[in-house]
Amino acid sequence: MYWQKLSKTTIQQKVFDELQKNIDFITEPVLGLPGSSVDQEQFHNPSSLKEDAFLSVLINNPNHIGCHTHKNGERYFPGTKQIEIDLIKICAEEIFGAEESDYDGYVTPGGTEGNIQAQWMYRNYFMQNEKAKPEEIGVIFSEDTHYSVYKASNLLSIHPITVKVNHDDRKILLEDLTKKLEEALDKGIRYLIVHLSMGTTMFGSIDSPEPLLEVIKQYFKHYFVHVDAAFGGFVYPFSQEKIDLSFKNTEISSIAIDGHKILRSPFGTGVFLCRKSLIEHVQTPEASYVYGSDFTLCGSRSGANAVYMWMTLMTYGSHGWTELIRQLIARTDYLCKELDEIGVKYYRHSDMNIVAIDHHAIPEDLAKKYYLVADNYSNPQWWKIVVITHVTDDMIKDFLLELKTSKSVN
């Protein structure tokens, strides 16, 4: 894994150079497009914004509709579109180990769309290639999986299949997996989408594909594997060296990542990646007025968000980002060490920066003071801490001191 760190000046100049290749709604006779640059009347001093590369892209308002790794796409914004292609290349090849150009992908509004895009793609594959009916298709996942999987199955009229996990280590229970697979067959399900998590929302737990697929293969011949790496995609590949949830594992066919979590891009930013040509199964031929057609759920989307993600990765480079993640893991290690010393029960995957604390171990008012997130606000069982860049050592120490005080009082 390697990509070069660039200086701020180089990054800014690269963005400005590519931006010059886009159309300019102000200076060119653009009559046919149903869009424009953003309304600059909303800014106090719009001329000063043009000194900043990202804000200049935001004002230019490029529409990155389509999938630019598959077709050329719209001809109006070739400059910033190339930055998105470069970003997808880093994510697919360097972070997730895809072979050069053996993938497709685009910048999404976030992990939810990435997960829906995957299920949509596989559902259509089964329907087009295997003549499957929607009611014959299921998506299987752990009970800790992000709720977007339910949205997708509901929208696509396919069966959601939830598998229980062990309470203490959050691993999928193989006996329950077997039970659910047998029940699925009894219901007439013949095609399966396997939805794995690289960092579940509440626990940061990681699904291991090998033991799960060993069981699944005993029951299903037709399946695809999707990885929801919305949180873990910019953490797990940098905190350890396993490749089982990357494209180096031939079982993995697609991956969804969020840019607006650990990478701190603007909200509404993610990446969807899949093996080459699979995305053809979600082409919308009726989008005949779009250059290169459309293969995405969202259609029109902000090119500025893609540029921001690229700028962030270039600011750090692969070595710098790896070091940042190591610092966050070390900070999480410290938190867990202190929790161990005061006898607090929690779950944490050793290569992740999420700690879920048992609700019995922490007063609710303390959890609320530090903005901890509950697994269920009607009946909390866990309170979650996410050790991200704004979480300082002092903040953790203050929290631990108050937690120790509350335990001594009680």
SS (H, E, C) 10-28: HHHHHHHHHHCCCCCCCCC
Cα distance between residue 292 and residue 280, in whole Å: 12
Specify the pTM: 0.97
CATH superfamily, domain at 317-409: Aspartate Aminotransferase, domain 1 (3.90.1150.10)
Cross-strand partners of 258: 270
> Each residue of 170-204: b (16+ CB within 10 Å) or e?
bbbbeebbeebbeebeeeebbbbbbbbbbbbbbbb
pLDDT at 73 over 90: no
Mean of the per-residue pLDDT values for the chain?
96
For the chain, the structural domain boundaries read 78-315, 317-409
Helices 8-19, 78-89: axis angle to 10 degrees equals 130
pLDDT at 17 over 80: yes
Cross-strand partners of 358: 382
Once rounded to an integer, what is the mean pLDDT over residues 177-187?
A: 99
- Return the ∠ at Cα 69 (arms to 77 and 195), rounded to 5°: 125
Q: What is the pLDDT of residue 409?
A: 60
Once rounded to an integer, what is the mean pLDDT over residues 90-119?
A: 98
Q: What is the pLDDT of residue 62?
A: 96
Q: What is the pLDDT of residue 269?
A: 97
Cα distance between residue 201 and residue 247, in whole Å: 22
34 touches 75 (CB < 8 A)? no
Segment among 49-53, 371-375, 400-404 with least mean pLDDT = 49-53
pLDDT at 48 over 90: no
Architecture label for domain 78-315: 3-Layer(aba) Sandwich (3.40)
205 touches 197 (CB < 8 A)? yes
- Return the ∠ at Cα 286 (arms to 283 and 289), rounded to 5°: 105
204 touches 170 (CB < 8 A)? no
Q: What is the pLDDT of residue 213?
A: 99
Provide the token pair at 114.
């990435």
355 touches 348 (CB < 8 A)? yes
Cα distance between residue 46 and residue 49, in whole Å: 5
* Burial category of 12 from C-beta neighbours within 10 Å (exposed 0-12, middle 13-18, buried 19 and up): middle
Q: What is the pLDDT of residue 29?
A: 95
Work out the pLDDT band at 410, boundaries 50, 70, 90: low
Work out the pLDDT band at 52, boundaries 50, 70, 90: very high
Per DSSP, helices labelled H in 65-205 are 78-89, 111-129, 148-156, 174-186
pLDDT at 49 over 90: no
Provide the token pair at 215.
């069981």
Q: What is the pLDDT of residue 42?
A: 85
Once rounded to an integer, what is the mean pLDDT over residues 241-264?
A: 96
Once rounded to an integer, what is the mean pLDDT over residues 184-199?
A: 99
In this prediction, what percent of the chain has a pLDDT beyond 70?
99
Cα distance between residue 71 and residue 54, in whole Å: 25
Cα distance between residue 328 and residue 386, in whole Å: 10
Q: What is the pLDDT of residue 321?
A: 99
Cα distance between residue 204 and residue 115, in whole Å: 17
In this prediction, what percent of the chain has a pLDDT beyond 90?
92
Q: What is the pLDDT of residue 233?
A: 98
